A and B are shown apart, each in its own frame.
Chain A
C-alpha cells in the first residue's frame, strides 16, 4: 500500500516502516507487541492513554534515550527506538497499574472476559500483581437501550467510545462528564442510544464498559463459540461478519475486517438483525408433507408429497434476500419464461434502469467513498438503508479538514490536531431527499422535495452541464454567483423551479466543478425509473464534457442480494402483475407458484387473496412466517444465512461467499437443497418445440444434469450453463483446499463441550459445502482467506486483526482478490421495461408515470383542506429490512407514529408540534372515495418542506403512496389512549417474545443436535 518506507531500528533490529502512519501503527504492522488503548487504526491517535510508550534514542551512542508515545510519534528515517528497554516497559506497566486502581477485576462475570483488550494489554505489560489497597470509585450505570449494556466501573478512560460515537459516527446523544478521577461516559440521562452505530461501542471499548446486551443474555465465552466467515444479509453493502454459534443457536455477530468494505465497523442492523435466526417466527417444520416415520422427514416423504405435481408447470418467484445459488436453481427448474424476481411493473422498469447504470458506471467500494471530496445524495436515505455507507460518507467529508491540516504538515492520523484545525470545515455534501436524514447535519445544503421534483432538478442540472459550460465560459466567470444563477434561471424557467431549488442546483454545479473526486449516490427506495433515467442522462452529459471530473456513481438497492438477483433477471422474466395475469390465463394451465424466500412486502392483502385464488398450488420456501407462508399448501423450512452456504452480490456487483456457521436442525435445509429435492419431480418444461421431441426424455436429462449432492456440484452445473460464472464459483470452491477450524484452539476441551449430557466424545459434523470444519481441528485462521474469527497469541479480542493485516489498515495476509460479476443487460431488451424516450430539453408531462402521476398539478396554492399531498415513509435502520425487523430487541425499541408536515399545513389544521393527531389519507376518483386510511400520529414540523410533501414513520397501503388527500384533526383523548394501549401492547409482546426465545434457547442448550453430515435430508 505504502511506498514511503524507511529503515528504523527497533531494539537494534532494522525494520522497514512506512512514514505515512505513526510509529505505533508501524510497530504493529511488523507484528511486534506494543500495548495501546486510545489509538484505533481507523480513528487515529490522540495520545491520551500513555500506554504505547517506547524509548527513543538520539543516535547509536545514546544509551539513555527518552520516553515517547509511539502513537503520536512520526516514523523518521534511521530512528532508533526500544520497546524492551527497562524504562519504557516499566512505564507501561505502571500506566496499567494506575488504570487498574479503579478497574473492578470482575472478569469472571464480565462479558468481555476472554476477549478483552484490557486483559491482553495487562498481560502484555507484565502487570500481574495487584498492589493497590484503596477503595475504587463507583458509578451508577445507565439504561442505554436493548442493544448495548453499560458497566461504567470498568472504565479506564481511554475516550475511544466518545471518539467513535461522537467524532467518527456523528452521534449527538453521548458525552463525557466530570473530570479527574470521576469521568463518566454515557448519555445525559438514561435511554436508548440513538446512533445506528451504537453496537460498535462493544468492539471499540477496550474493556467491558459497553457490552453486547443481546449476546450477554445468552452468553458464551469466545473460546466456546463456533464461528464462520459470513456476509450481512440485511442491506446491499455486504459487510463482512463473523457469526458466532453454540449449541445450535446463533449468539452474536462481530465485525470481520474487510478493508474495502466495512473496515472495523458495522451498523446495528447488521450486528443485531441476526436475531431473526432464533426468532419465534422461524419455520422449523414442513407443512403439507405427510411424514412416515415419527423420527425424521425423509426424501421419500417429500417425493410422495410432490408426486402429483409431476410434469406440472410452476411459476417461480425468486427474491433479493435468497442466495444467488437458490435463485439460479429456481430459474432453472421453472424455466426462464416462468421466472419472476418478485418485482412489480414499476420495479421492473427500475431494475432495467439500474442494470444500465451499473454497467455504465462502476460503483466505488466504501474505502473509495472515503476518498471523495464531493458527495451528492439523491432520493435515498442511506443513513437508514445502507448505514455503513453513510458512515463512510461522513469520513469522506473530513477530507477538507485533512487537506487543511496537511498543508501545515499535520498528518491525518493526528486525530485531535486535525479536528482542531479543521473545526467545522467539511467537504461538500448535497442532499436532495424526500425525508430528513441523519446526514443532514453535515450537509452543505439539504433540501426536501418529492421524487418528481427531484427528477426535475436533475433535468435542470443536466441542462446546466450541457449548455452551462458554453454560456458560462463565455461569461468567463464560474465563480460569479450572479451569472451562474442567471444562466440557471433561463434554463430552469420552463421547468418552474423554485428559487430554493435553483440555488441548490447552482451550488451543486459550482461545487462539482471544483471537485477532484466527486461521488453521486442514489437508490431505488423511491421506486422511480424516471429518477434513475434522469440520473443516467446527467451522467451521460457529464461524460461528454471536459470541464468536470466525471463523478463515481452508486445506486443503493435494498437487499443483500439485489444485484445478484438483477444478474439473473432477463428479458423473459415476469413482473408480479404479469404473474397474476399468467395464472389467470386459461390456456397456460399453471399448477401454481413456488415462492423462494419471498414475502411480497409491497402486496396488499387483497392482492395476496387474489394470488391465492389464482394459484392452484402455492409452495413457499422460507425461514420465517409471513402472510404467504400461512396460506401456502406446502411450506418448506429453509436455512437462514447462518445455516447455509452461498453467495450474495453487493451494490457494486461484488460476489461474496457466506459460510455455514452451524448445520440447521432438520428438516430445515438450504433453499437450493429443497429445490434439488423437488427438481426432478416438477422439473423444467421444455419450451423449444423443435427439441421437445420427447418431453419425458428431456425432463429426465435436465433432472439428471441438475441433481446435486453438494454446493460444489451445483456450481459445476452453473458453470456449464453460465460460463461467465466460472471464475467466481471455481475460486470460491477451490482456492482453499485445506480445512480451517470454525472453533478456536482454546475452545473448551472437546469432551467438556457436552459434559452435561455425556463425557464421551461425539463425532463432529462433517462439512459438505465449504472448507471449514465443525471442530477445532484445522489449520490456523491466519492461513485462510476468509477468517472465521480473529485470534492471535496474546491478542484475544477482535483487535487481533492487526496481526493478520499486511500492514495496519491494509489487506489481510491471505486475502483473495474480490470477484465482481458482470450484469447482463438482457432485461433492457424487453420493451415493457423501457421508458418512453425523454424529450431532449425540458421535463415532459408524459414522463410522469406511475405513482407520481398528478403531482405536477399540485401547486403550493392548494390552501383548503384536505390538502393534496404525497406521503413518503421514512426508512428505518431496524425496520426497513423485513428479516431484521423480526428481531425482538428492535421491536422493543419501536417508535410511536410520527408525521412530519410543514408549518403551513400545521397552521391550517390548527395543530402544533408534539400534538397527537388523527391523519386521514384518501384516494378519490371522480368524487368517489376509493380507499382511505387513518393514522393516529404525533405532529412534527419541518421547515422547507413543500406543501405537497409529507413524511412519517408509518406504512400506508400501496395505492395511497401516490398523490392523496390528507386531512389532519386533533385526536381525541380516547383515540390517543387507544393507540397508545396498542403501541404499548406491541412493545410488551416483543418483550414476551424475547423472554420466550431465551427460555427456549436455554432449554435447547441441554440437547445439542449432532448431525454426522451437514448434507440435507437422509444425511444420517
Chain B
C-alpha cells in the first residue's frame, strides 16, 4: 500500500472552494476551530460520498486539528464513512427489538438479494450494507435507514421491494 506523506497535503490544493467556504463558515460560528471538525467531515462527505485519507488530512490541515484527533471523530460516528460506499448505504438495525421481530429473515433476504454481507458493497456500486446499533424504532421493528429515510415494520418482501425501487430511482443520493 502506498503511504501518504501527511505533511504534503495542502488543503488549498485538495479541497474545492465550495468545501472550504462551507467549512470556514461552520468554523466561524463555533467557539473553537476544532469544534467544526464533525461539520467539516459532513461537508466533504456530502461532496465526495466518503472520507478518504487525503480528505482527512486536508481537513486537519484546514482546521489545524491533529489528524489523530480528527480520525477519532470520523471513526466514532457511524454516518461518517472512512471507506468508499455505494450510492445507497443500508443501515440495518441490529438491536434487540429487531432481533425479536424478524431481523434474521430480513437480513437473509437482503444479503441474498444483493449478494453481499455486512460491510460490503454491491459490484454495481449501488448498495452498501451496514448494521446499526439502534435506530430508535423499537416500536416499529424491524427497521432500517437508507440515506435520510427510515423504513419500518420490515419483512423480507417489503425490504426487497424498497431496494428494488431504490436501484431504479437511485435514492436520495442520486
Chain A interface residues toward B at CB < 8 A:
166, 172-180, 184, 187-189, 423-424, 914
Cα distance A172–B68 when bound, in Å? 7
Contact pattern, B 60-73, Cβ under 8 Å of A = 1, otherwise 0: 00000011110110
**Residues of A contacting B28 with CB < 8 Å?**
none
> Known contacts being A188-B67, A189-B3, A423-B32, is A175 close to B72, with CB within 8 Å?
yes
* Min CB–CB distance A143 → chain B (angstroms): 12
**Residues of B contacting A184 with CB < 8 Å?**
75
B148 within 8 Å of A by Cβ? no
| Residue from B8, B68, B69, B76 within 8 A of A178 (CB atoms) | B76
* Min CB–CB distance A65 → chain B (angstroms): 31
- Do A172 and B66 touch (CB < 8 A)? yes
Interface residues of B in 66-111 (CB under 8 A from A): 66-69, 71-72, 75-78
**Residues of A contacting B68 with CB < 8 Å?**
172-175, 187-188
* Min CB–CB distance A144 → chain B (angstroms): 12
10 contacts between A and B (CB under 8 A): A172-B68, A172-B69, A175-B69, A176-B72, A177-B72, A178-B75, A188-B67, A188-B71, A189-B4, A423-B32
Q: Which 5 pairs of residues, A with B, have the shortest CB-CB distance?
A: A175-B68, A172-B66, A177-B75, A175-B72, A188-B68
* Min CB–CB distance A914 → chain B (angstroms): 7
- Tell me the interface secondary structure of chain A in the complex: loop
| Residue from B3, B67, B71, B76 within 8 A of A179 (CB atoms) | B76
B162 within 8 Å of A by Cβ? no
* Min CB–CB distance A898 → chain B (angstroms): 12
**Residues of B contacting A173 with CB < 8 Å?**
66, 68
Cα distance A914–B7 when bound, in Å? 9
Closest to B74 in A: A177
Cα distance A172–B66 when bound, in Å? 6
* Min CB–CB distance A425 → chain B (angstroms): 11
**Residues of B contacting A187 with CB < 8 Å?**
68
Cα distance A447–B152 when bound, in Å? 61
B133 within 8 Å of A by Cβ? yes
**Residues of A contacting B8 with CB < 8 Å?**
914
Given A184-B75, A914-B7, 7 further pairs, Cβ under 8 A: A175-B69, A175-B72, A176-B72, A177-B71, A178-B75, A179-B77, A914-B8
- Do B7 and A179 touch (CB < 8 A)? no
Name, among B31, B68, B133, the residue most crowded by chain A CB atoms within 10 Å (CB to CB): B68
Cα distance A175–B71 when bound, in Å? 8
Cα distance A177–B75 when bound, in Å? 6
* Min CB–CB distance B122 → chain A (angstroms): 24
**Residues of A contacting B66 with CB < 8 Å?**
172-173, 175
Cα distance A173–B75 when bound, in Å? 16
**Residues of B contacting A172 with CB < 8 Å?**
66, 68-69
Name, among B7, B32, B69, the residue most crowded by chain A CB atoms within 10 Å (CB to CB): B69
* Min CB–CB distance A157 → chain B (angstroms): 13
**Residues of A contacting B71 with CB < 8 Å?**
175, 177, 188
Name, among A166, A172, A174, A177, the residue most crowded by chain B CB atoms within 10 Å (CB to CB): A177
Closest to B3 in A: A189
**Residues of B contacting A180 with CB < 8 Å?**
133
* Min CB–CB distance B113 → chain A (angstroms): 27
* Min CB–CB distance A386 → chain B (angstroms): 25
**Residues of A contacting B31 with CB < 8 Å?**
423
**Residues of B contacting A188 with CB < 8 Å?**
56, 67-68, 71
**Residues of B contacting A177 with CB < 8 Å?**
71-72, 75-76
Closest to B31 in A: A423
Cα distance A178–B75 when bound, in Å? 5
Cα distance A177–B70 when bound, in Å? 9
**Residues of B contacting A179 with CB < 8 Å?**
75-78
